[in-house]
Amino acid sequence: MGAKRVWSTTGVVALTGALLLTSAPTASADYVRDQQWVLDAYKMDATWALTQGEGVTVAVVDSGVDGSHPDLTGQVLQGKDFTGGGNAQEDVAGHGTGMASLIAGHGHGAGNNAGMVGLAPKAKILPLRVLQKKNDDFEDDTWAEAVRYAVDNGAKVINLSLGDSVGGTLTSGREAIAYAQARDVVVVAGAGNEGGFTVAEPAALPGVVSVGAVDDEGNLWDKSNTGEGLTLVAPGVEIVYANTNRSDGYGLSSGTSDATAYVSATAALVRAKYPDLTAGQVINRLIKSASFLHHKGLKAPDREYGYGIIRPNKALTMDIPKGPKDGPLGQLSSSTGSKTGGATEGSEDGSTQAKEQDSSSRLPIALIIGGIAAVVVIGGIIFAVLRNRRNGGSGGPGSGGGTPPAGPGYQPQPSTGYQQYPSSAPNQGYPTPQGQSGQTFSPYAQQPPHQGQ
Cβ within 8 Å of residue 120, ≥6 positions away: 52, 53, 56, 58, 103, 104, 265, 266, 268, 269, 272
Decide: 208 and 177 in contact? Cβ < 8 Å. Answer: yes
Is 108 a residue of the active site?
A: no
Among 69, 95, 106, 295, the active-site one is 95
- C-alpha distance from residue 148 to each of 111, 145, 170, 200, 204 (Å): 37, 5, 15, 21, 19
Produce one character per residue of 67-90: b if its CB has 16 or more CB atoms within 10 Å, e if not.
bebbbbeebbbebbbbbeeeebbb
Query: How far is the C-alpha of 424 from the C-alpha of 444, rounded, in Å?
Result: 10
Decide: 309 and 285 in contact? Cβ < 8 Å. Answer: no
Among 257, 289, 291, 334, the active-site one is 257
User: Quick one: DSSP state of residue 444?
Assistant: G
H or E segment at 251?
A: strand 250-253
Query: How far is the C-alpha of 178 from the C-alpha of 169, rounded, in Å?
Result: 12
Query: How far is the C-alpha of 81 from the C-alpha of 90, rounded, in Å?
Result: 9
Q: What is the dihedral of CA 291, 295, 297, 300, to 10 degrees?
A: -30
Is 437 a residue of the active site?
A: no
Cβ within 8 Å of residue 14, ≥6 positions away: 246, 248, 250, 251, 252
Task: Report the DSSP beta bridge partners of residue 62.
Answer: 129
Is 62 a residue of the active site?
A: yes
Cβ within 8 Å of residue 189, ≥6 positions away: 6, 160, 161, 162, 163, 200, 202, 203, 208, 209, 210, 211, 260
The greatest distance separating any two alpha carbons of the chain, rounded to the nearest whole angstrom, comes to: 82
Among 34, 40, 45, 62, the active-site one is 62
Query: How far is the C-alpha of 306 from the C-alpha of 213, rounded, in Å?
Result: 11
- The residues annotated with a catalytic role in the active site are 62, 95, 257
